[in-house]
Amino acid sequence: MPDPERPLRADARRNRERILASAGELFARRGHEAQMEEIAAAAGLGMGTLYRHFPSKRALLTAMVGSRVDGLADLARAAERIPDPGEAFETVLRDYVEAADGDAAFQLALMGSKDIDWQGVQREKAEFAEIVGRIIDRAVAAGRLRGDLTVADFYLLACGVISSMYFTRGGHSDWRRHLALSLEGIRTTAPR
């Protein structure tokens, strides 16, 4: 695996980007059933090149999820800037779930897949959880959410909605309705 401290040569960087793009497409469609051989072929590269960048499927999935989890912190920061506390919470939950729409691999990751080296994305996960915690505290203090809601509950709600995406075959999940029902259960007042 390339040394993370040393910048990649231009050709190696292009190969890595091709691998990540091909893996992203295959994992989005097939989830964890996508095979390393398929990913190398789709990227137009040999297995040796693939394994030089990612020594295992787990390393590849972790790299993909790491960049996506980093983007989740951006979603949370944007939601935190929303003045209405209830709207801020609903926005971060909706955007978190929406980030997984159409991507079977990311859905599995957000549901707690063991195929990801979560140690590799601890900083990103912690940052996201910290921001969501502040959003929840503000919404609870404003009387917009149940007083006992926690960050752990946020993940349970999201996991339920994401599982309805993943386990509904043919991509016809009514996850937005599932999300709306979940939000109704935790609100203390109607949204504005």
| Number of domains forming the structure of the chain | 2
Where among 19, 35, 55 does a domain terminate? 55
Domain identity same for 101 and 136: yes
pLDDT at 85 (0 to 100): 97
Q: 68 with 106: CB under 8 angstroms?
A: yes
68 with 51, same domain: the answer is: no
Contact 75, 99 (CB under 8 A): yes
For residues 119 and 140, give the distance between their C-alpha atoms in angstroms, rounded to a whole number: 30
User: Would the pTM count as exceeding 0.85?
Assistant: no
Look up residue 73 and give its two tokens: 């912190």
User: What is the longest distance spanned by two Cα atoms in the chain?
Assistant: 57
Instruction: Identify whether 192 is part of a domain.
Output: no
Contact 189, 143 (CB under 8 A): yes
Establish if 40 belongs to a structural domain.
yes
Q: Tell whether 49 and 144 lie within a shared domain.
A: no
Same structural domain for residues 171 and 76?
A: yes
Does some domain include residue 13? yes
Number of Cβ atoms within 10 Å of the Cβ of 141:
11
Q: What is the pLDDT of residue 192?
A: 47
Q: Is the pLDDT of residue 178 over 50?
A: yes
**At which of 25, 40, 55 does a domain end?**
55
Whether residues 75 and 37 share a domain: the answer is no
Task: Answer for the pair 2, 26: CB distance below 8 angstroms, yes or no.
Answer: no
What CATH number should be reported for the domain holding residue 67?
Answer: 1.10.357.10
Domain ranges, residue 2: 1-55
The answer on 95 and 79 residing in a single domain is yes
- What pLDDT, in 10s, does the model give residues 52-78? 999 998 888 888 877 777 789 899 999
pLDDT tens figures, 91-141? 999 999 999 887 777 888 888 877 777 777 788 889 999 999 999 999 999
